[in-house]
Amino acid sequence: MQYDEFHCQLTMDKKGRITLPSPLRQALADQKISTLVAVANQGRRGGLSFFTPDDYRTVVRGRVRGKDPFARSTTVYLRAIDSTSQSVGIDANGRVLIPPMLRELAGLERDVVAFSSMDWFEVWDKKRWDAAFEAAMELWDAEMGGDGLSSLPAAPAATEGS
């Protein structure tokens, strides 16, 4: 399911619940989705990625479908990512309760950052997010030669009638 883009700061309550951003709540309600699947996206170094159950089967489980179940790359992936998956319900107030194991893995405390990324969205502890964002920007600058977005190829020109 494609989400409208969002990037926001949220507060996790003492019970481990976050309230999903209203555009996301509405999009999920429109599709009659009341459950999400959360996975730790980088073990103890990252945040959480949330998928609809269908997208989880396609994106996460799809990476190993048809692969040798005993191949090192398959077992490592299953242990590192898939083994952390947890189904989480969306309550009537648009909140999800993040299971304690996932809160611990993602280092989630009170202040979190949430953003959409195509067919999923992510939730990170604010401190971890700030560090990961800075690291990503450094890699991006190195790859782009410090030019950032200005060095991306131009979008193709629209043709008449399109």
Question: Given this model, what pLDDT does residue 119 score?
Answer: 81
Domain residue extents for the chain: 7-148
Query: Residue 17: is it exposed, middle or buried by C-beta count within 10 angstroms (0-12/13-18/19+)?
Result: middle
> Beta 35-40 vs 48-51: how paired, if at all?
antiparallel
- Show pLDDT as tens, one digit a residue, over the chain (162 residues): 566 778 889 999 999 999 999 888 988 999 999 999 999 988 788 999 999 999 998 988 888 888 898 999 888 888 888 889 999 999 999 999 999 999 999 999 999 999 987 788 999 999 999 998 888 888 888 887 766 555 555 556 555 554
Q: pTM for this one?
A: 0.81
CATH T-level topology, domain 7-148:
Chemotaxis protein chec (3.40.1550)
Q: Got the DSSP string for the chain? A: -PPPP-EEEEE--TTSEEEPPHHHHHHHHHTT--EEEEEESSGGGS-EEEE-HHHIIIIIGGGTTTS-TTSHHHHHHHHHTGGG-EEEEB-TTSEEEPPHHHHHHHT--SEEEEEEETTEEEEEEHHHHHHHHHHHHHHHHHHHTT-GGGGSPPPPPPPTT-
- Residue 42 CB-half CA count within 13 A: 11
Q: Is 126 exposed, middle or buried (0-12, 13-18, 19+ CB in 10 A)?
A: middle
What is the per-residue pLDDT for 162?
47
